[in-house]
Structures are given as C-alpha cells and as structure tokens.
Amino acid sequence: MTYRIAVLVSGSGSNLQALLDAEAAGELGAQVVFVGSDRADAFGVQRGLQRNIATAFVPLRQPRNPAVRAAWEGQLAAVVGAFSPDLVVLAGFMRVLSAAFLAHFPNQVINQHPALLPPDGGDTVRTSSGLTIPALRGAHVVPDALARGLPVTGCTIHRVTPTIDDGPILAQAEVPILPEDSVESLHERIKLEERRLLVAVVQRLAGGAGGARS
C-alpha cells in the first residue's frame, strides 16, 4: 500500500519540491497525494499542479474571527481528510492549526521550523558544541537569530501538538551563522538542511509504516 502524504504550503514550496523530486526519483517510499494552501499565490500550489497532484486553495478570510477560523479549519480538515493521508506535512504553512484540526489526524501532522527547538519545550537549546542558545519560536526566527547575534541556528522537524513550535522532535540540524550573513543567505542555507531532513524523515516514517511500498 502506498504511504500517502498531504502537504500544506503558504509560500515558495521548495521543501514540497524536495519531496516531489525524491518521489520522482523513486527514493521517497511515499506519494504526495494532495497539496493545500491558504494562499492562492503560493508558488507551492503551482509545483503541485505541475506534477498533476490534487491541489486546493482554502482561504482564511478573517483570521482573527474565531468562528471563521474554526469553520476554515473544518474545511481544511475535510479536504485534506478526503485524500486519506498517512502523514500531513506542514511545509512552510504559516497558519497555526488548533487541537480541533489535529484531532482529525492524530500523531500524523509534522512541521518544519527554521530554528533549533529543545526536546523539553524549554526556553533554551544546547548545541552540539555545548553552547546554550535561546529557543526561537514564531514566524520570524531567521531574522531573530541574526538580530540576537547567535553563532549558530538550525532547523527542526517535529510532530505537531496544540502547543506552537513544540512537540516530539523527529530531526534537527545545526547551521552556523556567518558574519556576512543576510536574512536571505542564512535562510537559504537553513532551507538546504530542511529539505534534506524532510526527505529523510518522510522516508523513515514511510519505511516504518511498512517498508518500501508500491
């Protein structure tokens, strides 16, 4: 049986592309069956369409209205659920999903975060060289890492729980910050690691669910 992945994107979708490329090369052990987005202009949507993958734009029109937000989550859960995914990958999906959404896909949602997160939900991270650095959470962690003058940052892939930027860690990589780094150059180096880790995590989860699949 095929290990089925739904991928949610809000932006360029280069991480989605890494999954699609690994799948096309026969290396993923999984199939991307659905791409969803809260943004019509997300290039990730085009990447899905180009591969002939079912794709949906599900707009959140009033993000601060709890009733609208709950209805949107219900719509998103319904359309994702219609594709019976084994795994839901938040690949640069810039909306927080509540416990109500997650309840539809228990222990099946993973997220990538462009910074190091601690295993214990704490406020600091210990790096491989023994440094203690702040755990960066939220949507601006790449500029935050630069603004704080950190020597190192990284990326984390974790299971999603109702607590933001938390949940069991599946993979992590450190990325040194160079003196000449801009937000763009640093984020691009982080994304290189994110793509590599994401493919490896999906391979592992798909493999664990039953080995090589056809």
Positions in the binding site for ligand GRF (CB under 6 A): 9, 11-15, 44, 91-92, 112-114, 191, 194
We find the least distance from the C-beta atom of residue 142 to ligand GRF, in angstroms, to be: 7
Distance set, CA 20 to CA 14, 52, 168 (Å): 10, 11, 25
> For residues 24 and 26, what is the distance between their CA atoms, to the nearest angstrom?
5
> For residues 146 and 36, what is the distance between their CA atoms, to the nearest angstrom?
31
Nearer to ligand GRF, 14 or 172 (CB): 14
We find the least distance from the C-beta atom of residue 114 to ligand GRF, in angstroms, to be: 4
Closest residue to ligand GRF in the complex (CB)? 92
Nearer to ligand GRF, 96 or 209 (CB): 96
We find the least distance from the C-beta atom of residue 194 to ligand GRF, in angstroms, to be: 5
Please tell me which residue in 104, 113, 140, 158 is annotated as part of the active site: 113
We find the least distance from the C-beta atom of residue 210 to ligand GRF, in angstroms, to be: 27
Nearer to ligand GRF, 65 or 148 (CB): 148
Give Cα 214 distance to the centre of its chain: 25
User: How would you classify residue 202: left for phi > 0, otherwise alpha for psi between -120 and 50, otherwise beta?
Assistant: alpha
Is 113 tagged catalytic?
yes
> For residues 107 and 214, what is the distance between their CA atoms, to the nearest angstrom?
24
Nearer to ligand GRF, 44 or 118 (CB): 44
- Calculate ∠ Cα 152-158-160, nearest 5°: 135
| Contact in structure between 110 and 90 (CB atoms under 8 Å) | yes
Residues classed as catalytic: 113
